[in-house]
């Protein structure tokens, strides 16, 4: 039995909006799970139902073996983190961290020992008597995380907590959260629409769309073997390249080998174990290579320099493809190239259902 | 490319319709490498803040110039000064060789696109696009108006919802229409103030490329303001790095990424940020405070430097086990955090008495706690003078 189990969880609002349409998910103790999806996918509603801030209209929530579906938030032993707010400037680090415990009516002795414990774990002890303005930026973030997690509930629920921070702070905070979660092993459910945040933080990612779960897997599984075109597009920056075409039985290949044909037969690619039919072939930009003997011809439209790499946009006979290259090689606009796809990383989707085949 | 100047200022005759019906870009004000926009010695005070300090910049006739800087750097003030919405306290703004410092905003013939979409929500997309063309004094023929709207709608892929009410569009669609409203006027210069900032990541990514390609098609210069380093690197022909109202460096994205003039500039580009390590010369090497040698040092010049090395220019060598033949020595680094982000993996390591980011191809098998022997690519390191904040030449790749 999972530590946290969502069973057929549903939320339909009074106006008929079906925000969550039947979710089944098991989460193990100590896992960091990220609910990822575009706005309106139901991720925040799901989190709020786990917290007890919304009541489910169907299904059940079990936490550590206990049915908490209709319990009040305060009875569930969950800690909700909305945002890493700025620190109170007039309070010391100790007082800042103690604040949520004091607000919850915890006894002074208990407050003191818990602040000491979190400060020791996060290497903040020497900073406890200081005021926020005496701290370096990175230490301020550490303190705000310490304050957010000083209550030690069975589960942390984090709803886009990095939303208001700028890019550098987000990166630093992401690392802090990961380090702290690895150290404390408190089960954490983290909601975001930022796929990079999801990839970097999660033990497992739950991709949601339209109130349903579209895929559950490790970051590598979701990235390499997306369950649908939606997941393939949403995860990754840029999203996956797609080529529309058809799989025909392979001519001379081994049994089960098919040939993908696109662009009126001008593009032919062997794809292992694909059934004949109309398909969409998917490939990530880092698995597209320049190869004079490659099966796809095109010309360079744009090169996006990214510092540590470049994304080269190539208009091909099978549509536009993005190829990731190291940033040292330069390809002038308009130059013709031939492309090869790494066969180990080709995804094949049903053209009609858009599901992975 | 024709160098014929087309005047589409208010009240002036529209350009020949033939250009539009053939789907050709409108003729730019000038061609080639000549500077279209030249800002000279511009300073501007806003209240108690010196928003701009002695700004000099040029935008060529066929160029996308990105102004990059954090909030409060003066980016928007600079853009508003170019547009004529602010009057500089000192200095001048020139366009196509003409001093326009005293010219009214409307007469400068520039188009501004803002972060917020600024459409009339109750109007159709078509009416929003027509509006700037029907401004009093423009006298553009109806057929020409419709031609331009059709042309812009096709380029921006908004033909499908020309008759939809603007309030019913998604954020990305609205921003496309806002850009459409700027291009139907066929201005001499585009000024973009963080136009992608309010869009979600997927749309930003797509519109980034679309804007670059659109500008190239139109061959109209563009000044694009952003705080987003990825936008700056990927979109710019040249970047102007602005900080506290001052230009710190101007150059191509590669020049600024690879050869930043100061640690401040270095930190503005690249994610994760460049690693900056304080080093001193000892035994022919640059070594960190804890004695870790990083790379060979020339025997002349200052004995202390700040060494900048990008995460992708460090290799977390694990091949030779400790005690193996050769001089590999003990592993000196420890992996603390592994961030898997698709094509690459970022390691946060403790090494050389510092916390260092290392970026590796994604297939790395490293885990938190693993011991590594980081090696830096000396040819790609940048040495900064500790005192003056100025970049000094690298000791080169003789490692």
| Residues B289-298: contacts with CB under 8 Å, at least 24 apart | B289/B353, B290/B352, B290/B353, B292/B332, B292/B351, B292/B352, B292/B353, B294/B352, B294/B376, B294/B378, B294/B381, B295/B376, B295/B378, B295/B381, B295/B395, B295/B399, B296/B378, B296/B395, B296/B398, B296/B399, B297/B395, B298/B395
Give domain status of residue A161, yes or no.
yes
Do A98 and A116 belong to one domain? yes
pLDDT at B319: 60
pLDDT of residue B389 exceeding 60, the answer is no
Q: What is the pLDDT of residues A294-320, one digit of tens each?
A: 999 999 999 999 999 999 999 999 999
Interface contact A200-B339, CB threshold 8 A: yes
Residues 229-248, chain B, touching A (beta carbon < 8 A)? 229-230, 233-235
Do A31 and A160 belong to one domain? yes
In chain A, which ranges are continuous DSSP H helix?
Answer: 43-51, 93-103, 108-121, 137-149, 167-184, 195-201, 219-224, 229-234
Do B221 and B351 belong to one domain? no
**A306 vs B234, B273, B368: nearest CB:** B234
Confidence of residue B99 (pLDDT cuts 50, 70, 90): very high
**Cα Rg of chain B (Å, integer):** 25
CB-count burial class (<10 Å; 0-12, 13-18, 19+) for B10: middle
What is the least distance, in Å, from the CA of A155 to any CA of chain B? 22
Dihedral sign for Cα atoms in the order A224, A225, A231, A233: positive
CB-count burial class (<10 Å; 0-12, 13-18, 19+) for A128: middle
d(CA B306, CA B382): 8
Give domain status of residue B145, yes or no.
yes
pLDDT of residue A287 exceeding 80, the answer is yes
Nearest CA in chain B to A221: B342
Q: Does A311 touch chain B (CB under 8 A)?
A: yes
Give domain status of residue B355, yes or no.
yes
Residues 73-102, chain A, touching B (beta carbon < 8 A)? none
What is the least distance, in Å, from the CA of B395 to any CA of chain A? 20
Q: Which residues contact B228 (CB under 8 A, 6 or more apart)?
A: A167, B194, B196, B197
Interface contact B340-A219, CB threshold 8 A: yes
Number of domains in chain B: 2
| pTM score above 0.90 | no
Do B257 and B335 belong to one domain? no
pLDDT at A86: 76
* Mean pLDDT for the stretch of residues B166-177: 86
* Residue written as token pair 């501004």: B112
* Mean pLDDT for the stretch of residues B231-240: 96
Chain A interface test: which of B232, B343, B349 (most A C-beta within 10 Å): B343
pLDDT at B395: 36
* Mean pLDDT for the stretch of residues B222-227: 96
Q: What is the pLDDT of residues B25-75, one digit of tens each?
A: 444 444 456 789 999 999 999 999 999 999 999 999 999 999 999 888 999
Do B250 and B305 belong to one domain? no
pLDDT at B341: 85
Q: Does A219 touch chain B (CB under 8 A)?
A: yes
Tell me, what CATH number does A334's domain have?
2.40.50.140
Q: Does A284 touch chain B (CB under 8 A)?
A: yes
Give domain status of residue A357, yes or no.
no
Nearest CA in chain B to A329: B254
Eight-class DSSP state of A63: E
Q: Does A125 touch chain B (CB under 8 A)?
A: no
Q: Does B257 touch chain A (CB under 8 A)?
A: yes
Do A210 and A243 belong to one domain? no
Do B143 and B81 belong to one domain? yes
Where is the domain boundary, A233, A259, A278? A233
Residues in A closer than 8 angstroms to B257, CB to CB, are: 305, 307
For A319, the domain range is: 238-350
Query: What percent of chain B shows pLDDT beyond 90?
Result: 57
Where is the domain boundary, B265, B287, B314? B265
Where is the domain boundary, A233, A258, A287? A233
Do A76 and A121 belong to one domain? yes
Do B215 and B309 belong to one domain? no
Q: Does A237 touch chain B (CB under 8 A)?
A: yes
Give domain status of residue B10, yes or no.
no
Interface contact A179-B337, CB threshold 8 A: yes
Give domain status of residue B397, yes or no.
no
Do B28 and B98 belong to one domain? yes
Q: Does B348 touch chain A (CB under 8 A)?
A: yes
Do A76 and A132 belong to one domain? yes
Do B85 and B148 belong to one domain? yes
Interface contact A236-B342, CB threshold 8 A: yes
Give domain status of residue A315, yes or no.
yes
* Mean pLDDT for the stretch of residues A14-19: 92
Give domain status of residue B335, yes or no.
yes
Top-confidence residue, B20 or A190? A190
Do B209 and B89 belong to one domain? yes
pLDDT of residue B198 exceeding 90, the answer is no
pLDDT at A142: 83
Strand order in the sheet with B90-95: B49-60, B35-46, B90-95, B98-99
Interface contact A194-B234, CB threshold 8 A: no
Q: What is the pLDDT of residues A160-196, one digit of tens each?
A: 888 777 777 788 888 889 888 888 889 999 999 999 9
pLDDT at A345: 92
pLDDT at B5: 34
Confidence of residue A103 (pLDDT cuts 50, 70, 90): confident
Do A262 and A317 belong to one domain? yes
Supply the DSSP string of B155-191, one letter for each residue: HHT-GGGTTSBGGGS-HHHHHHHHHHHHHHT--SEEE
pLDDT at A87: 86
Q: Does B355 touch chain A (CB under 8 A)?
A: no
Confidence of residue A263 (pLDDT cuts 50, 70, 90): confident
pLDDT of residue A16 exceeding 80, the answer is yes
* Mean pLDDT for the stretch of residues B119-144: 88
pLDDT at B320: 53
For B307, the domain range is: 272-392
d(CA B269, CA A160): 25
pLDDT of residue B93 exceeding 90, the answer is yes
pLDDT at B204: 84
d(CA B257, CA B269): 6
Query: What percent of chain B shows pLDDT beyond 70?
Result: 85
Do B312 and B257 belong to one domain? no
Interface contact A305-B200, CB threshold 8 A: no
What is the CB-side half-sphere exposure of residue B95 using CA atoms within 13 A?
25
Q: Which residues contact B328 (CB under 8 A, 6 or more apart)?
A: B317, B320, B322, B373
Closest CA to A225 of A211, A238, A210, A240: A240
Do B343 and B382 belong to one domain? yes
Residues 361-380, chain B, touching A (beta carbon < 8 A)? 362, 368
Residues in A closer than 8 angstroms to B215, CB to CB, are: none
What is the least distance, in Å, from the CA of A274 to any CA of chain B? 25
Top-confidence residue, A341 or B152? A341
**B205 vs A39, A194, A237: nearest CB:** A237
What is the least distance, in Å, from the CA of B311 to any CA of chain A? 9
**B348 vs A168, A175, A238: nearest CB:** A175
Q: What is the pLDDT of residues A122-132, one digit of tens each?
A: 889 999 999 99
Dihedral sign for Cα atoms in the order B245, B250, B255, B259: negative
For B205, the 3-state DSSP assignment is helix
Give domain status of residue A101, yes or no.
yes
Q: Does B339 touch chain A (CB under 8 A)?
A: yes
Do A225 and A269 belong to one domain? no
Tell me, what CATH number does B40's domain have?
3.40.50.300
pLDDT of residue A59 exceeding 60, the answer is yes
Give domain status of residue A355, yes or no.
no
Where is the domain boundary, B265, B297, B327? B265
Interface contact A167-B344, CB threshold 8 A: no
What is the separation of C-alpha A339 from the centre of its chain, rounded to a whole number of angstroms? 30
Give domain status of residue A119, yes or no.
yes
Which phi-psi region, left, alpha or beta, contains residue B386 (left: φ > 0; alpha: ψ -120 to 50)?
alpha
pLDDT at A171: 85
Do A250 and A161 belong to one domain? no
Report chain B's mean pLDDT, rounded to a whole number.
84
d(CA A336, CA B335): 42
Q: What is the pLDDT of residues A130-152, one digit of tens each?
A: 999 998 877 887 888 888 888 88
Q: Are the C-beta atoms of A235 and A195 separated by less than 8 Å?
A: yes
What is the least distance, in Å, from the CA of A68 to any CA of chain B? 34
Dihedral sign for Cα atoms in the order A219, A224, A228, A233: positive
pLDDT at B325: 41
Where is average pLDDT lowest: A54-63, A255-264, A328-337, B347-356? A255-264
pLDDT at A85: 66
Number of domains in chain A: 2
Nearest CA in chain A to B345: A200
How many CB contacts within 8 angstroms connect chain A with chain B? 89
Do A87 and A167 belong to one domain? yes
Nearest CA in chain A to B258: A307
Query: What percent of chain A shows pLDDT beyond 70?
Result: 97
Do A229 and A84 belong to one domain? yes
Where is the domain boundary, A204, A233, A262? A233
Q: Does B337 touch chain A (CB under 8 A)?
A: yes
Residues in B closer than 8 angstroms to A302, CB to CB, are: 209, 212-213
pLDDT of residue A35 exceeding 90, the answer is yes
Do B260 and B288 belong to one domain? no
Where is the domain boundary, B222, B239, B265? B265
Tell me, what CATH number does A174's domain have?
3.40.50.300
Do A101 and A224 belong to one domain? yes
Interface contact A307-B205, CB threshold 8 A: no
Supply the DSSP string of A133-147, one letter for each residue: GGS-HHHHHHHHHHH
**A239 vs B202, B271, B311: nearest CB:** B202
Do A95 and A67 belong to one domain? yes
What is the least distance, in Å, from the CA of B383 to any CA of chain A? 18
Give domain status of residue B6, yes or no.
no
pLDDT at A252: 53
Residue A28 has a CB neighbour count (10 Å cut-off) of 12
pLDDT at B197: 84
Residues in A closer than 8 angstroms to B337, CB to CB, are: 175, 178-179, 182
Do B56 and B164 belong to one domain? yes
**A307 vs B212, B213, B257: nearest CB:** B257
Chain B interface test: which of A174, A304, A307 (most B C-beta within 10 Å): A307
């Amino acid at each position: 039995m999972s530590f946290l189990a969502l069973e057929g969880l549903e939320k339909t609002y009074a106006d008929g909006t079906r925000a969550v349409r039947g979710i089944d998910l098991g989460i193990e103790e100590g896992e960091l799970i990220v609910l990822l999806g575009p706005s309106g996918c139901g991720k925040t509603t799901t989190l709020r139902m786990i917290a007890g801030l919304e009541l489910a209209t169907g299904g059940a929530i079990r936490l550590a073996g206990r049915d908490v579906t209709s319990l009040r938030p305060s009875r569930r032993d969950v800690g909700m983190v909305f945002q890493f707010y700025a620190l109170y400037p007039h309070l010391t680090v100790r007082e800042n961290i103690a604040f949520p415990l004091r607000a919850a009516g915890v006894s002074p002795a208990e407050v003191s020992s818990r602040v000491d414990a979190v400060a020791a774990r996060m290497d903040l002890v020497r900073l406890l008597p200081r005021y926020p303005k005496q701290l370096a930026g990175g230490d301020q973030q550490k303190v705000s995380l310490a304050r957010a997690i000083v209550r030690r509930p069975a589960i942390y629920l984090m709803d886009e907590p990095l939303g208001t921070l700028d890019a550098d702070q987000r990166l630093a905070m992401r690392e802090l959260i990961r380090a702290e979660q690895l150290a404390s092993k408190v089960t954490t459910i983290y909601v975001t629409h930022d796929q990079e945040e999801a990839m970097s933080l999660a033990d497992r990612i739950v991709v949601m769309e339209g109130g349903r779960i579209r895929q559950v897997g490790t970051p590598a599984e979701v990235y390499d073997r997306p369950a649908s075109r939606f997941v393939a597009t949403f995860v990754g920056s840029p999203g996956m390249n797609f080529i529309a075409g058809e799989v025909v039985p392979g001519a001379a290949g081994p049994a089960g080998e098919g040939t993908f044909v696109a662009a009126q037969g001008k593009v032919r690619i062997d794809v292992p174990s694909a059934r004949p039919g109309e398909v969409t072939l998917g490939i990530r930009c880092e698995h597209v290579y320049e190869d004079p003997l490659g099966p796809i011809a095109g010309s360079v439209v744009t090169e996006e320099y990214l510092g540590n790499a470049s994304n080269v946009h190539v208009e091909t006979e099978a549509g536009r493809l993005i190829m990731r290259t190291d940033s040292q090689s330069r390809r002038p606009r308009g130059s013709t190239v031939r492309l090869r796809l790494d066969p180990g990383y080709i995804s094949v989707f049903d053209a009609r259902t858009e599901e992975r085949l | 490319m024709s160098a014929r100047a087309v005047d589409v200022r208010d009240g002036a005759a529209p350009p020949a319709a033939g250009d539009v019906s053939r789907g050709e870009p409108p003729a730019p004000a000038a061609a080639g490498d000549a500077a279209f926009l030249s800002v000279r010695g511009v300073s501007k005070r806003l209240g108690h803040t010196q928003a701009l300090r002695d700004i000099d910049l040029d935008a060529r006739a066929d160029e996308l110039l990105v102004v990059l800087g954090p909030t409060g750097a003066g980016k928007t003030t600079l853009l508003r000064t170019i547009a004529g919405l602010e009057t500089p306290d000192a200095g001048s703004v020139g366009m196509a060789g003409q001093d326009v410092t005293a010219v009214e905003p409307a007469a400068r013939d520039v188009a501004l696109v803002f972060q917020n979409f600024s459409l009339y929500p109750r109007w159709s997309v078509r009416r929003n696009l027509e509006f700037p063309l029907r401004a009093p004094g423009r006298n553009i023929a109806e057929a020409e108006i419709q031609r331009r709207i059709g042309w812009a709608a096709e380029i921006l892929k908004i033909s499908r919802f020309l008759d939809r009410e603007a309030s019913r569009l998604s954020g990305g669609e609205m921003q496309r229409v806002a850009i459409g409203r700027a291009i139907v006027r066929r201005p001499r210069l585009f000024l973009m103030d963080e136009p992608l900032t309010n869009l979600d990541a997927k749309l930003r990514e797509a519109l980034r490329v679309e804007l670059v390609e659109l500008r190239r098609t139109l061959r109209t210069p563009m000044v694009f303001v952003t705080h987003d380093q990825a936008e700056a690197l990927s979109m710019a022909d040249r970047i102007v790095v602005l900080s506290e109202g001052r230009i710190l460096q101007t150059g191509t994205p590669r020049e600024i990424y690879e050869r930043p003039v100061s640690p401040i500039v270095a930190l503005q580009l690249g994610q994760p940020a460049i690693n900056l390590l304080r080093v001193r010369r000892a035994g022919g090497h640059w070594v960190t405070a804890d004695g870790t040698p990083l790379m060979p040092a020339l025997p002349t010049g200052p004995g202390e430097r700040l060494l900048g090395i990008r995460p992708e220019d460090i290799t977390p060598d694990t091949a030779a086990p400790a005690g193996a033949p050769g001089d590999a020595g003990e592993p000196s680094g420890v992996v603390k955090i592994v961030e898997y982000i698709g094509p690459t993996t970022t390691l946060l390591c403790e090494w050389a008495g510092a916390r260092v980011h290392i970026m590796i191809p994604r297939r790395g098998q490293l885990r938190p706690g693993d011991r590594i022997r980081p090696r830096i690519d000396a040819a790609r390191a940048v040495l900064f003078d500790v005192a003056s904040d100025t970049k000094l030449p690298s000791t080169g790749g003789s490692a």
